[in-house]
């Protein structure tokens, strides 16, 4: 049996919102009101495949955001390939072959 360790600070996480949106973000911490993340990106599907764009356009990219636990359906570690794409998109660092 695998032990679910949850999520850790600095880890790339996938958040499924109660509204149906799926986000990728860097996990900061759990708070009494929810979960704090930074650089949330919403997934979008186009003819070219799955893409990412900022979840909130009018906030500085480095601003930490708290998502209310009541609006989150799931919060889990992101699959490695998507996490690498997210990190490349948000930091500019390519993680080929990692």
What's the confidence (pLDDT) of residue 92? 81
Number of H helices, E strands in the chain: 1, 6
What's the confidence (pLDDT) of residue 64? 96
pTM (2 d.p.): 0.87
Is 5 inside any structural domain? no
What's the confidence (pLDDT) of residue 97? 56
Vertex 39 angle, CA 36 and 42, to 5°: 100
Is 53 inside any structural domain? yes
What's the confidence (pLDDT) of residue 96? 62
Domain count, the chain: 1
For position 46, which CATH number holds? 2.30.30.100
Task: Map residue 91 onto helix, strand or coil.
Answer: helix
List average pLDDT for each run of 10 residues in the chain, which is 98 residues long: 78 97 96 94 90 92 94 96 92 69
């Amino acid at each position: 049996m695998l032990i679910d360790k949850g999520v850790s600070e600095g880890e790339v996480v996938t958040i499924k919102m109660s509204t149906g949106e799926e986000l990728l973000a860097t996990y900061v911490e759990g708070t009494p009101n929810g979960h704090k993340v930074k650089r949330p990106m919403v997934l979008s599907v186009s003819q070219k495949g799955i893409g990412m764009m900022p979840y909130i356009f009018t906030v500085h990219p480095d601003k930490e955001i708290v998502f209310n636990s009541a609006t989150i359906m799931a919060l889990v570690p992101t699959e490695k390939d998507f996490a690498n794409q997210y990190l490349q998109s948000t930091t500019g660092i390519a993680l080929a072959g990692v």
